[in-house]
Amino acid sequence: MEVLSRYEPLVDDFEAFLAACERSLPAVVRVNTIKAGVERTKRALDEEGVGYEDRKWNETVLELDTDKPGNTWPYFHGWIHGQEEVSSLPATVLDPQPGERVLDACAAPGGKTAQIAALMDDTGLVVANDNNLGRLSALRFNAERLGLTDVAVTRQDARNFSLKPFGFEAFDRTLVDAPCSCEGIIRKRPDTLDEWSLSHVEGVSGVQKGILKRAIQATRSGGTVVYSTCTFAPEENEAVLDHVLESEDCRVVEFDTPLESRPGVTEWNGEEYDRSIRKARRYYPHHNDTGGFFCAKLEVTG
């Protein structure tokens, strides 16, 4: 938890922030509308005696009153998938439309891929990419369990992603849910900060810049790129955006955010970032009882 003290200047009510980081997360699932509607899923949970609570901002997100959502009929049928509440956010910000071509650049284990596919009614194409074979196998398992047919899985380094296998030149939208230092998932994995080091953060930041840059290049002019992480470190969030704003044709745009959030920071450790980065949003654990998260929406202009 000591690591988090570096964020004291950024976070209001820092004591409440630390206290929230020590609590475990509620069991939250997303209803997979490709296989069943929200009402039918709720009826099945009722029949099994499993309680649930709605999330006002998204009807497909339910908190379940059980430690084992995997031991329910709706799970067996692929009607629900475990996904932390704030993790459901970036796909809604991406706002993919049926029939579009979408890249999920760092897709494993596939929760966000599946949500994107569901928002597209399992039409069009979602390319789910990751470079880790083990994690890709989890992604494939999840996508098939959820009954998705519009997902194509690739194993590439997202920094050099090639569209060659697909025979078209650009995606309509791309999600970069980047590999990160994962500080924000401390409520799920309390040991996540044990290995923390500034040099790791800086190293990951370099990878993130490379991935986001390539994502912007692979998306058509006028298209949307969403960048998200589950970390608080500005080095991995605002600094990455600042870097691509200089080198690529894109701009940061505002988005409606149903969860309580704070603007992206424009100053950190003596560095200054582009003013438009205030349009990015930071999500802290004590504001919505979720994990920590960062999300930015970019429009490709060139």
Partner 1 sequence: MSNDGQRFDRLPATDDERELESRATLEEVVGWWDERFGIGSEEFEEHTFWEKGAGKIWIAYGEHPSPTEIEGLGMKFLRTRQEHWKPTTNAVQRFGRVAKKNVIDLDPERAMAFVRGKDQEVEWDGDWGYLIAAHEIAGEREPLGVGLYLHGELRSVVPKGRRRED
Q: Which residues are catalytic?
A: 230
260 sits near partner 1 (criterion: CB under 8 A): no
Q: What angle do CA 123, 128, 134 make, to 5 degrees?
A: 140
What CA–CA distances, in Å, run from 138 to 25, 92, 217? 22, 23, 28
Q: What angle do CA 204, 289, 83 make, to 5 degrees?
A: 65
CB of 260 to partner 1, least distance (A): 34
CB of 32 to partner 1, least distance (A): 11
122 sits near partner 1 (criterion: CB under 8 A): yes
Residue closer to partner 1 by CB (options 21, 34) is: 34
Residue closer to partner 1 by CB (options 155, 189) is: 155
φ and ψ at residue 38, rounded to 5 degrees: -65, -40
**Token pair recorded at residue 162:** 């090639």
78 sits near partner 1 (criterion: CB under 8 A): yes
Is residue 157 marked as binding? yes
**Site stretch for partner 1 (CB under 8 A), options 20-28, 76-84, 187-195, 261-269:** 76-84
- Residues 266, 274: contact at Cβ < 8 Å? yes
DSSP, collapsed to helix, strand or coil, labels residue 260 as: coil
Is residue 95 marked as binding? no
CB of 46 to partner 1, least distance (A): 8
- Total number of residues binding partner 1 (CB under 8 A)? 37
Residue with tokens 């629900």: 80
Is residue 106 marked as binding? yes
d(CA 83, CA 192): 18
DSSP, collapsed to helix, strand or coil, labels residue 28 as: strand
For partner 1, the binding residue among 2, 49, 56, 165 (CB under 8 A) is 165
71 sits near partner 1 (criterion: CB under 8 A): yes
Is residue 78 marked as binding? no
- Residues 244, 212: contact at Cβ < 8 Å? yes
Is residue 109 marked as binding? yes
CB of 177 to partner 1, least distance (A): 18
147 sits near partner 1 (criterion: CB under 8 A): yes
Sheet with 80-82: strands ordered across: 52-54, 61-64, 28-31, 80-82
Residue 244: partners with Cβ closer than 8 Å, 6 or more residues away: 209, 212, 213, 216, 250, 298
For partner 1, the binding residue among 23, 43, 189, 200 (CB under 8 A) is 43
76 sits near partner 1 (criterion: CB under 8 A): yes
Exposure string (b/e) for 108-144, b if CB count within 10 Å is 16 or more? bbbbbbbbbbbbbebebbbbbbbeeeebbeebbebbe
For partner 1, the binding residue among 1, 152, 198, 253 (CB under 8 A) is 152
93 sits near partner 1 (criterion: CB under 8 A): no
For partner 1, the binding residue among 17, 25, 35, 179 (CB under 8 A) is 35
**Site stretch for partner 1 (CB under 8 A), options 8-16, 39-47, 172-180, 208-216:** 39-47
Binding residues for S-adenosyl-L-methionine are: 106-112, 130, 157, 177
- In the annotated binding site, the residues are 106-112, 130, 157, 177
